[in-house]
Chain A
């Protein structure tokens, strides 16, 4: 060891003495840095562009419709006379589906995550996790289709009053869609709880259930909460399945058996239809889009904030 030291020193010195960068390399470095900057700029500029378009079009919309009516109006019928521009029915539809999805996905997702992280033998974990990835990879249009041909008939057989298109069937399939997200994120935070905490708990005569419920889950709680928020935000933004399954009837209701319309489904309806560009009806989708954007952004920020709090926790 000690004999090696002088060599290292001298080679360092020789490196330092020849440390003037050649101009070719300097230009090359500069080019690469610029190329990387451009790549980063593309995504940032796109985001800014999208928000700008949303804002500009939405502002034009609000010249025709008062923001008050938009936010607090309880009737949404921009495509029919008499026109009403109250976002509440759409917001309510979105919330209904997202809440329903949460009711389906949170208990199942959390239990699955706890099972995988604390109880499952290694081979089960290694089989289930890839399967969940597959579940996450199924296109949402397939979920929508399944909701109509499979889930909805079951609901209708149980509740006669249920519509063919209803919020409940959309909620269930969206819940299944966000399940993998909850499972994999929660499982990750559960497993990140230091082994030393589990050992401390076991050493005090705790059973596995004690360790899980009184130490591991509380320690990982804010991470779990963040996974819920991210998943719900995904449910809010989910489009295809709800467009197919939930119907196209904007309605201010909390009854999941009724046909409703979500914000995303409305945007689809107008974008595909023959609403002429430049009219108030057309501009509604920007106002709705902006509302949607704020809703999901708020949830994501909340989730990030909660997650950041976990990171500081154990040390």
Chain B
């Protein structure tokens, strides 16, 4: 933890400079995309899709999360922010049990998805991951065709009929705002797409399993501003039908896309609340220091 401290300062510097470039664009896009972040009252009224209580998480002996309690409201965007190594990605990967894949990890506490504990012994992890989709930081399309990438999830789920698959693929690509760009080359390799297109393809691939929840681990951090903007617009549209949890390094992005924001620091959830409130009127000084860029 302490070893990564110096690099954390550097990364904030980068973010600050990025913010300057992005903010001008923000004003343009705010014309066509009215900011409709849900108020704290609306959030409180929303049904809780995921409910995490007293979550502790360990890598071997090292504790990465401390007593995290957080409600994720349905059909809202929840942003997880915080400096590198604060545990926000670890937290995200707990929600679809992706951390199971790493040897020597341990977890205490409860995570309820639709009131069901996803860590009870008889949970079908495969089934869980169909309901909780994930988009990764670096786009990771399979070295297959565009069609096969999107059809992968449904195929794994046992759908064989070509016509059904084709329908799912088209539907998912449309939802991911990629259909018009790729409809004529579905049989080309996905690796020929640009970085931004690949990431939207990964989103389409995730949507194809029709999950209720979408986890996104810094989905735009490797993309140029134009692609980032497209992904953000997309997140905003997807909010209507999906519950989204997004990890982001970029506070402006959190402010732009999310309804609720949770601030993590050193493995602890410092503060969570309606994005509008958290960014304008944070309760804790640590949160204020972070969002005003006083530390990273």
Chain A positions within 8 Å of B, measured between CB atoms, are 122, 194, 196-207, 210, 214-215, 218-219, 313-315
Contact = CB atoms under 8 A, between A and B. Distances in A.
A172 to B, nearest CB: 36
B178 interface: no
Interface stretch (B22-30, B128-136, B247-255, B286-294): B128-136
A199 B206 CA distance: 12
Given A199-B101, A200-B142, A214-B156, A205 B126 contact: yes
Contacts of B133: 203-204
Contacts of A206: 126, 152-153, 156
Given A219-B143, A313-B143, A314-B143, A204 B206 contact: yes
Given A202-B98, A204-B133, A214 B152 contact: yes
Interface hub of B127, B136, B156 (most chain A Cβ within 10 A): B156
B130 A204 contact: yes
Given A203-B206, A210-B156, A197 B140 contact: yes
A200 B149 CA distance: 10
A313 B130 CA distance: 28
A241 B136 CA distance: 52
B200 interface: no
7 contacts: A196-B140, A199-B101, A200-B142, A204-B130, A205-B157, A207-B156, A214-B155
Contacts of A202: 98, 101, 129
B202 A200 contact: yes
Interface on chain A toward B: helix, strand, loop, or mixed SS?
A: helix
A194 B138 CA distance: 12
Contacts of A194: 140
A12 to B, nearest CB: 24
Contacts of B127: 205
B258 to A, nearest CB: 21
B75 interface: no
A75 B142 CA distance: 52
B65 to A, nearest CB: 20
B72 to A, nearest CB: 18
Contacts of A201: 142, 152, 156
B144 interface: yes
B156 A204 contact: yes
A206 B208 CA distance: 13
A197 B142 contact: yes
Contacts of A207: 126, 156
Interface in B141-172: 141-144, 152-153, 155-157
B205 interface: yes
B275 interface: no
Nearest to A215: B142
A214 B191 CA distance: 17
Contacts of A313: 143
Given A199-B101, A199-B134, A202-B98, 16 more contacts: A122-B103, A196-B136, A197-B140, A200-B140, A200-B142, A201-B156, A202-B101, A203-B129, A203-B206, A204-B152, A204-B208, A206-B156, A207-B126, A214-B152, A219-B142, A219-B143
Interface in B171-211: 191, 202, 205-206, 208-209
Contacts of A205: 126-127, 129-130, 153, 156-157, 209
A278 B212 CA distance: 82
Contacts of B205: 200, 204
B134 A203 contact: yes
A202 to B, nearest CB: 6
B136 A199 contact: yes
A207 to B, nearest CB: 5
**Residue in A197, A206, A215, A219 whose Cβ sees the most chain B Cβ within 10 Å:** A206
A202 B125 CA distance: 9
Nearest to A198: B101
A224 to B, nearest CB: 14
B48 interface: no
Given A199-B98, A199-B101, A204 B153 contact: yes
B98 A203 contact: yes
A199 B134 CA distance: 9
B266 to A, nearest CB: 25
Interface in B112-131: 126-127, 129-130
Contacts of A218: 143-144
B215 to A, nearest CB: 8
A313 B142 CA distance: 10
B136 A200 contact: yes
By Cβ-Cβ distance, the 9 closest A-B pairs, closest first, are: A205-B130, A196-B140, A204-B153, A203-B134, A205-B129, A200-B140, A206-B156, A210-B156, A205-B126
Nearest to B130: A205
Contacts of B153: 204-206
A122 B102 CA distance: 12
B22 to A, nearest CB: 26
Given A205-B153, A214-B156, A196 B138 contact: yes
Contacts of A197: 140, 142-143
A197 B142 CA distance: 6
B96 interface: yes
Contacts of B202: 200
A315 B133 CA distance: 24
Of B143, B144, B155, B206, most A-chain CB atoms within 10 Å: B143
